[in-house]
Amino acid sequence: MIAVLKQGTSEKQIENLTNWLHTQGVDTHISFGKEHTIIGLVGDTSKIDAELLSSLEIVDSVKRITEPFKNANRKFHPDNTVIEVGNTSVGGNDFTIIAGPCSVESEEQVMEIAKSVKAAGATMLRGGAFKPRTSPYDFQGLKADGIDYLIRAKKETGLPIVTEIMNANHLDLFLDVDVIQVGARNMQNFELLKELGRTKKTILLKRGLANTLKELLMSAEYIMAGGNENIILCERGIRTFETYTRNTLDLSAVPMLKELSHLPIVIDPSHATGIAKLVKPLSLAATAVGADGLMIEVHNDPPHALCDGAQSITPETFADVCDAVRKVRSVL
Ligand code: PEP
Ligand code: MN
Q: 126 CB under 6 A from ligand 1?
A: no
Q: Long-range CB contacts (< 8 A, 24+ apart) of 222-226?
A: 222/190, 222/193, 222/194, 222/197, 223/193, 223/194, 223/196, 223/197, 224/71, 224/72, 224/197, 225/71, 225/197, 226/194, 226/196, 226/197, 226/198
pLDDT attached to residue 268: 98
Q: 271 CB under 6 A from ligand 1?
A: yes
Which residue's C-alpha comes closest to atom 1 of ligand 1? 102
pLDDT attached to residue 65: 82
If one residue of 163, 181, 248, 270 were mutated to test the ligand 1 pocket, choosing by the most ligand atoms within 8 A of its CB, it would be 181
Instruction: Say if residues 236 and 268 touch (Cβ distance below 8 Å).
Output: yes
Which residues are CB-neighbours of 202 under 8 A, at least 6 positions away? 83, 85, 90, 178, 179, 180, 230, 231, 232
Please, what CATH class does the domain formed by 2-63 belong to?
alpha beta
Handedness of CA 127, 131, 134, 135 (dihedral sign): positive
Q: 227 CB under 6 A from ligand 1?
A: no
Which atom, in ligand 1's list, is nearest to the CA of 268?
9
pLDDT attached to residue 99: 98
Q: 236 CB under 6 A from ligand 1?
A: yes
- Residuewise pLDDT in 10s, the chain (332 residues): 999 999 999 999 999 999 999 999 999 988 888 888 999 898 888 889 999 999 999 999 999 888 889 899 998 899 999 999 999 999 999 999 999 999 999 999 999 999 999 999 999 999 999 999 999 999 999 999 999 999 999 999 999 999 999 999 999 999 999 999 999 999 999 999 999 999 999 999 999 999 999 999 999 999 999 999 999 999 999 999 999 999 999 999 999 999 999 999 999 999 999 999 999 999 999 999 999 999 999 999 999 999 999 999 999 999 999 999 999 999 99
pLDDT attached to residue 189: 98
- Domains of the chain, by residue range, sit at 2-63, 83-331
Q: 183 CB under 6 A from ligand 1?
A: yes
Which atom, in ligand 1's list, is nearest to the CA of 236?
9
pLDDT attached to residue 257: 98
Q: How many whole angstroms separate alpha carbon 124 and alpha carbon 100?
A: 8
Which residue's C-alpha comes closest to atom 6 of ligand 1? 183
- For the structural domain made of 83-331, what CATH number should be given? 3.20.20.70
